[in-house]
Structure 1
Amino acid sequence: MIEVKDLVFSYEKGRKALKGLDFEVEKGEIFGFLGPNGSGKSTTQKILTGIQGGYEGEVRLMGKTPDKTDRKVFYQEIGVLFEFPYLYTNLSALDNLKFFSSFYSRERRRDIMPLLERLEFKMDYLK
């Protein structure tokens, strides 16, 4: 589903943000980026979503190269949340999930509770 091979990216002045990053994420697998500030987490996400080009190596999501794919179609197939707080603080966690799921057709929506259980989400936070 996601394939990254020998991903290299440098910002101006030759500062390398990514140096030969390799990973694969299979369908249904949960994957997260962890690391200190400046380790390339956001840069990797921007490359994966087609926002950032100018990289070396291979990147494929669902068999497509993000920065060479029709963005409208591509963005209908993925979901990303960057480090900025895009949740509504006046809504509960469950209400936030329901709100954002309303952007999709009923056929594409999934039941939230099994996902929360799988993630071992503390149910006290739903209130």
Structure 2
Amino acid sequence: MMEDALRPHGLGATQWYVLHQLTHLGPTMQRDLVRLLEIERATLSIIIGTLVRKRLVEQIPDAVDQRQKLLRLTQAGKTLWGELPDLGFIHDTAFAGFSEADLETTARVLKAATERLNQRLKGTRP
């Protein structure tokens, strides 16, 4: 459903989440998005690279540590965000009625299960 709504705009779901976070939080350190979105650093780097190439996001090197990057929407990113369909209903519909504690527990269990499966897959590879 989400992918179908985003496809005409050339975005994937995770790209949308990055734009969503930058729209609502403002400029954000890339390392903080890893934690917020709960995705691997390498995966986020690829996604950010794509958004930078599309000129929707810009990376600004930190003044103290040039390896750290501040992310912010470009004007094109802000314009695109204004054109995107409101997908907030997905979260509201899917998670309405669940407590924050239930959602945190579910996320923690799914994350642990995914990590275990990934470890198992790595262990069975030659």
Shared topology, TM-score over 0.5?
no
Q: TM-score, normalised by structure 1?
A: 0.24
In terms of fraction of residues, the more strand-rich structure is 1
- TM-score normalized by the length of structure 2: 0.24
Higher helix fraction (1 or 2): 2
